[in-house]
Amino acid sequence: MLSKRLLHVAALLTPAACWNTDVHNQLVFMAETFFTPDTTSVLAQILEPQYNGSIGRAAAWADAYAHTSEGRFSYQWHWIDTHDWAPHHCHLDYKSDCAKGGCVVSAIANQTGILRECIQQAMSGTILSGGTNLTCSYAAKWVAHFVGDIHQPLHASGRAAGGNFYKVKFGNVSTELHAVWDGFIPYYAANVSKPFSNHSIDPFFRSLLTRIRKDQFYEAPYMWLTCSDPSMPEECASLWATESNRWTCDYVYSHVHNDTDLGTDGYAFGAVPIVELQISKAAYRLGTWLNKLVDGVKADQLWRDQEILEL
């Protein structure tokens, strides 16, 4: 008989291509709690009005957009396909693994650069308000989404197309390994019987915030920010992707058995700390990343204003 926890998970499952929509929302709601007032204010100017100033509510937009005819060029920006073979060999090389049309590392780098220019415009009062500059709104939404994606281990693995072609069973439901990491395990970890909110932060994710602030992970959260400088986006995003890729050797493929039920054979239980860690890293890094973008622009403007006064 399936446990109550697995029955909850089975009832929630929907096809997905990255962290499930509601998981993305919750991850960015977490990030918002780290925002400075300046960051919150600038993003509210940049985003379209339907998001009510919350980038968390816009966090899943990139997935829907990628499945439209207009946005399908961005579909491959959600991952980087490594040429390794987990669990026997894990290695990520940005230059050779990033596809010609882009990947999650280059997307974070490029959209961070665009967003910096948009923040400059917003802080100087020249940007059109209320999300009417879609280039800027899209950049903000892409950065928020892709920082989440890059922390899902199977978004940094080429084996079986990021696990999408690796068939497994979870809670007596036939699925594939990628979906297990997108939603099955987060739902299992939270023991929820309904999807997470797309309007406000849920208790499970609030508990992760408490653990970040109380330094209750086996890695000290300050270490997660070793590379968090948006002026070095390729280097930092490559580092984050390499961390995710490492998990495909250390756990994702080394502990999986496609002839057992991953919900009951111990796999899900062992994966929960990894998912909690990766979501928490993504949220803390995203909050810090956007704060540093805004603070950097503000510092540049103050410096320029001071130069003008001295002239």
Q: What is the pLDDT of residues 168-219, one digit of tens each?
A: 999 999 999 999 999 999 999 999 988 999 999 999 999 999 999 999 999 9
Cα–Cα distance, 156 to 93 (Å, whole number): 10
Q: Is residue 277 part of a domain?
A: yes
Largest CA distance in the chain: 78
Per-residue pLDDT at 223 exceeds 80: yes
Q: Residue 62: its pLDDT value, please?
A: 98
Q: Residue 161: its pLDDT value, please?
A: 96
- Cα distances (angstroms) measured from residue 61 to each of 33, 205, 260, 311: 20, 20, 35, 46
Q: Is residue 17 part of a domain?
A: no
How confident is residue 90, by pLDDT bands cut at 50, 70 and 90? very high
Domain, as residue range, for 62: 4-9+22-310
How confident is residue 302, by pLDDT bands cut at 50, 70 and 90? confident
Per-residue pLDDT at 65 exceeds 70: yes
Residue 140 belongs to domain with CATH number: 1.10.575.10
Q: Is residue 15 part of a domain?
A: no
How confident is residue 305, by pLDDT bands cut at 50, 70 and 90? low
Which pair of tokens denotes residue 278? 């990766």
Please tell me the total count of domains within the chain: 1
Cα–Cα distance, 111 to 117 (Å, whole number): 10
Per-residue pLDDT at 17 exceeds 50: no
Residue-wise pLDDT tens digits, 256-288: 998 999 999 999 999 999 999 999 999 999 999
Q: Residue 303: its pLDDT value, please?
A: 67
Q: Residue 9: its pLDDT value, please?
A: 64
Cα–Cα distance, 35 to 101 (Å, whole number): 32
Per-residue pLDDT at 14 exceeds 80: no
How confident is residue 131, by pLDDT bands cut at 50, 70 and 90? confident
Q: Residue 7: its pLDDT value, please?
A: 53
Range name among 119-123, 244-248, 298-302 with the lowest pLDDT average: 298-302
Q: Is residue 14 part of a domain?
A: no
Cα–Cα distance, 22 to 214 (Å, whole number): 25
- Cα distances (angstroms) measured from residue 178 to each of 23, 41, 293: 14, 36, 32
CB 133 within 8 A of CB 127: yes
Q: Is residue 283 part of a domain?
A: yes
Q: Residue 15: its pLDDT value, please?
A: 46
> What is the torsional sign of CA 296, 300, 302, 306?
positive
Q: Is residue 128 part of a domain?
A: yes
Choose between 205 and 132: higher pLDDT. Answer: 205
Q: Is residue 101 part of a domain?
A: yes
How confident is residue 296, by pLDDT bands cut at 50, 70 and 90? very high
Report pTM: 0.93
Q: Is residue 242 part of a domain?
A: yes
Instruction: Work out the average pLDDT over 6-15.
Output: 56
Average pLDDT taken over every residue of the chain = 93
